[in-house]
Amino acid sequence: VETGRPLVTLKVAQTLDGRIATRTGDSQWITGTEARTLVHRWRAELDGVLVGRGTARSDDPRLTVRHVDGPQPLRLVLDRTGTLSPDRTLFTDAHADRTGAVVGADRPRPTYTDRLTNAGGTVLRVPETDDAHLDLSALLRRLGTDAGRDAEPLQSLLVEAGPGLAPALFRQDLVDRFFCFVAPKVFAEQTWEPVGDDVLLRGYCRAL
């Protein structure tokens, strides 16, 4: 089916209590080593990987392929206001030439522009919606035809989404397939054990 945009794969990871981040916003290492390796395989297989501003700010992810062999994807970060810190790993590591920051079309020039473009990366400008969000549909159409400086148009995109980006994509019917990891834990003291084909989780939400 011709859509004019990349095929979008959404990946989320959550605990059994439905959380995808701690109270401080940290979402790293919800899943185990095997699950993280699988995500690295997806990164290698798909053309690009996208995260939101919240994930970039709280987790400072690399979004690279490390646990398997394969090509590095184009790394994209949503930064509507262009105010992410220029010291983010995406802007400073050895793969900055494979990084694109997505900024609102009429926003001021981000402070990281020179650092990113000098490394070979790019700043992509897309329209904002009336309710002050990036127009995700317009972004995907752009990526399907022009992914920025020296980057081929994207045929496929992995979105490693947090609590804001995931529902936004679903609301706009922009998700083609999704993978949801559910880790046998809660963000509290807990243990788990197999019971036949099921898993029993024992946990306490406060000290007893």
State the residue for tokens 């690295």: 40
What proportion of the chain, given as a percentage, has pLDDT over 90? 70
Strands (E), 19-91: 48-51, 74-78
Asked if 156 and 46 touch (Cβ cutoff 8 Å), the reply is yes
Give the start-to-end residue ranges of the domains of the chain: 7-204
Residue 19 has pLDDT above 70, yes or no: no
pTM over 0.75: yes
Say which amino acid occupies 31.
T
With CA atoms as reference, report the closest residue to 55 among 31, 88, 86: 88
Reading the block at residue 205, the tokens are: 């939400």
pLDDT tens figures, 74-110? 999 999 999 999 999 999 999 999 999 999 999 999 9
Homologous superfamily (CATH) of 7-204 is: Dihydrofolate Reductase, subunit A (3.40.430.10)
Distances (CA, A) of 156 to 7, 54, 85, 140, 143: 5, 22, 28, 10, 10
Residue 206 has pLDDT above 90, yes or no: no
Q: What is the pLDDT of residue 23?
A: 47
pLDDT bin (cut points 50, 70, 90) of residue 3 is confident
pLDDT tens figures, 152-185? 999 999 999 988 999 999 999 999 999 998 876 6
